[in-house]
Amino acid sequence: MNTYTQRRLDPLDLQEEDVEAEDLAHALSMLCRGGGHLDRFYSVAQHSLNCALEAKARGESKRVVLACLLHDASEAYISDIIRPVKKRLPEYYEIEDQILQTVFRRFGLGNLTQEETAAWKQIDNDLLAVEMEEMFPAFHPEKIPVLQSDPDLTEREHKQIERQFLQMLEQLR
């Protein structure tokens, strides 16, 4: 594939040196959550920023905050498939995880503990429930978690989100 920074790479054989912060920020800021079936444009990058800010508000370590920011980074290379479909594609999970682990290693997170992984996954799920409640008025999750932060779910210009993603990534490195 060709990336935003004009790199050519194979996402199925992604190497740490292939991963560029600018590619992640740009691609994720251009991808809409929910397969695009939201009532507004809300990017994967904005979701990731909200996850990182929630991790900070919960007093999580810098590593967990960074993991929250990067947890959907595989989507910069292979896009996303909605969860109900993804569950039926076990190979997709393997590919997604392989890419994510490469990105994590690139940014110093190659050895996340089980507790750190559980923390970022819980925050991701909590944000998903809040997003669903807000952006799908007909959908009501069984339980809406109480967040420690106030996530920005407004429609934002992708270049603004791209810059914010890069700034936070730089602060956390």
Q: Specify the pLDDT at position 144.
A: 87
CA atoms 115, 26, 163, 7: torsion sign: positive
User: Helix, strand or coil for residue 147?
Assistant: coil
Q: What is the pLDDT of residues 117-127, one digit of tens each?
A: 999 999 999 99
Task: Give yes or no for residue 165 having a pLDDT over 90.
Answer: yes
Q: What is the pLDDT of residues 126-158, one digit of tens each?
A: 999 999 888 887 777 678 899 999 999 999 999
Q: Where along the chain do its domains lie?
A: 11-172
This model's pTM is above 0.85: yes
Calculate the alpha carbon distances from 58 to 53, 144, 166, 172 in Å. 9, 17, 22, 16
Helices and strands of the chain, counted as H and E runs: 8, 0
Its CATH class, for the domain covering 11-172, is mainly alpha
Residue among 50, 45, 51, 33 nearest 123 (CA): 51
Kindly state the percentage of the chain with pLDDT values over 70.
99
Look-up of token digits 């967040």: 147
